[in-house]
Structure 1
Amino acid sequence: CAVVGNSGALLYRQYGVDIDAHAVVYRFNQAPVEGYERHVGARTTMESLNSAWMKQLLEAPRSAGRWNWRKPETALVIFEMFDPASMKFKTRDQIAMKDKWWKKSYERLRARHPDKSVVVLSPRFMAWATALYARLKLRFQKLGLGVYSGEKPMSGFYAILWTLQVCDRVDLYGFTPYRDEDRTEALATRYHYFDSAVPRAHSHSFDLTSHIYKLLAHRFHHFNIYD
């Protein structure tokens, strides 16, 4: 499996052919490939969508051109239907409303795209992954590697842990950590290879996830990082 992130560092590499050679190519949140094929490849077999992209999928008219549904065989991965990481930031009413929204959105998705393959990451997996993230965060802080203020794991963290369980080999591309201090630096590596967007401040801890991915690469012989 090739898990392809959205880092602007991909523009400095030509991984396209290598990425497309994998049996599974996993992408995120509608990152475009057209025009970037030599850097990121052209194939997509699985794709994670967060709630913002799910909302766009369900509410945008099909003819609006705002949604790229990839190839018909591309499977959709939903990971936020059960999101324990966000619960500590929300009230019970907010959690209940979000739960209701996801259930209704899933029903609408199946009705609108009945032939589309959809994978929903289980509550047990999400709870385990979120707890692991919290333990590693505490461990790295105790080791003096940094103080991490990100609110919750990013989608790539869940995808990587999941693919490590189902793929014989996992190759990671485009996960070079973004640095908040680079926001005003014109020549710094961009957050996305395809636009000039910047993440919401302190939404994620990129340094922490970078440490976690390096730890996984050291621990598992079938996990490789390509910056």
Structure 2
Amino acid sequence: MTGLPVMKRILLVVLLAAAAMYVILHCNLWKTNVYLLPPTATRRKSGLENCSLDPPFESLWNVICRRCVVVGNGGVLRNKTLGEKIDSYDVVIRMNNGPVRGYEEDVGKRTTFRLFYPESVFSDPIHYDPDTTVVLLVFKPHDLKWLWNILNGHKINTNGFWKKPALKMIYKVNQIRILDPIIIRKTAHEWLQFPTKFPRKEKPKHPTTGLIAITLAFHICNEVHVAGFKYNFADRNSSLHYYGNETMSEMIENGYHNIIAEQKFLKSLVEKQFVVSLT
């Protein structure tokens, strides 16, 4: 290492520290398989001997049909009254801070998995659900350090985040998981064909939490349905989410996602009958 520039040494140390923290957190947070479903999911029975669709990827479970729905946060869910149907699935996957409380008629009330990153996790206890397993998406070393500090009661350094991260965790330790980075890599490089390196002057692109959630669903479900993933690009003032007042203009101006590419890819999944869209 003596011949390496100082910055390369620092980068190497950071990467090694992040890797070590990743392993430690895995060992401390759970002792089972990372993809093992929580008891609330395994207790439910779909009553189906066979899935109506062949799984596009081989499921990790071959005993029963496991039907999953990935619920996006799109404004298209407003006034669709899909709540009861969404709750009928064996596994319900949600993402970020898309609320359930107050929107049950449109989005349901059950949540099996909720994918998040430090800037998007709930911090208000009003949203706490004891039957939900929350899954951290790690995009940078700061994310792992954030989780380590928040679980150990250390002061949270908010530097290095694109907006202020949560300063407290409303979920219990046994409800927390860390998503295998392979899932994110598959979404970015195999599905969306993003390059592994971006030019310095170009903002690096990464997949939305929603598409990452769909990738995860393909690894744990026999049958995958989606809802809330349709956006109206023609109207910049249309609702971005089924909650709040954000508009499509904010999504269009976001330089870190390629929403058009994701919409085209998702459309191809629906056309090939790999997934079923409820909206």
| TM-score, normalised by the number of residues in structure 1 | 0.71
CA distance in 2: counterparts of 1:127 and 1:161, whole angstroms? 10
Q: 1:205 Cα shift?
A: 2.8
User: Which amino acid letter does the alignment assign opposite residue 26 of structure 1?
Assistant: I
* Aligned residue number for residue 182 of structure 1: 235
SS at match of 1:116: helix
Q: Structure 1 residues 33, 69: CA separation in 2 closer, same or farther (over 3 Å shift)?
A: closer
Which of 59, 80, 83 in structure 2 is aligned with 1:13? 80
Partners of 2:110 and 2:242 in 1: CA distance: 17
Q: Residue 124 in 1 paired to residue 178 in 2?
A: no
> Aligned residue for 2:22?
none
Alpha-carbon spacing, 1:42–1:134, altered in 2? closer, same or farther (3 Å): closer
Matched residues in 2 for 1:124 and 1:17: separation?
33
**5 Å matches for 1:103-142?**
103-111=144-152, 114-135=172-193
Contact 1:177 1:207 in 2 (8 A): no
CA distance in 1, matches of 2:172, 2:149: 10
Percentage of pairs with the same residue: 25
* Counterpart position of 1:77: 135
Structure 1 equivalent of residue 277 of structure 2: 225
Q: Does 1:196 align with 2:196?
A: no
The 2-side partners of 1:151 and 1:134 are apart by: 10
Deviations, residues 66-105 of structure 1 (Å, cap 9, x unaligned): 35443112101112x1x3xxxxxxxxxxxxxx41x22222
What are the superposed Cα offsets for residues 91-127 of structure 1, whole Å, 9 maximum, x if unpaired? xxxxxxx41x222222235446554322222223322
Q: Which structure has greater helix proportion?
A: 1
> Is residue 2:266 matched to residue 1:213?
yes
For the 8 Å contact 2:74–2:242, the answer to whether it is kept is: yes
The residue type equivalent to 1:214 in the other structure is K
Partner Cα distance (1:18, 1:158) in 2: 23
Distance 1:209 1:224 in 2: 16
Q: Deviations over 1:127-163 (max 9, x none)?
A: 222112442x79xxxxxxxxxx993311111110110
Q: Which residue of structure 2 lines up, in the alignment, with residue 157 of structure 1?
A: 211
- State whether residues 44 and 70 of structure 1, in contact with CA within 8 Å, keep that contact through their aligned partners in structure 2: no
1:171 counterpart SS class: strand
Question: Counterparts of 1:19-98 in structure 2 under 5 Å?
Answer: 19-54=86-121, 57=123, 66-79=124-137, 81=138, 83=139, 98=140
Which consecutive residues of structure 2, in runs of 5 or more, have no partner in the other structure?
1-67, 153-168, 196-202
Deviation at 1:49, TM superposition (A): 1.1
Matched with 2:38 is: none
Paired residue secondary structure (2:109) = coil
Query: CA 1:21/1:77 → structure 2, altered by over 3 Å: closer, same or farther?
Result: same
What secondary structure, in the 3-state scheme, does the structure 2 residue paired with 1:12 have? coil
CA 1:178 to 1:167, structure 2 compared with 1: closer, same or farther past 3 Å?
A: same
User: Where does the alignment leave 5 or more consecutive residues of structure 1 unmatched?
Assistant: 58-65, 84-97, 139-148
Matched, 1:3 2:3: no
AA paired with 1:171? Answer: H
C-alpha contact (below 8 Å) 1:217/1:225 kept by paired residues:
yes
Query: How many correspondences in the alignment?
Result: 184
Structure 1: which amino acid aligns with 2:115?
Answer: S
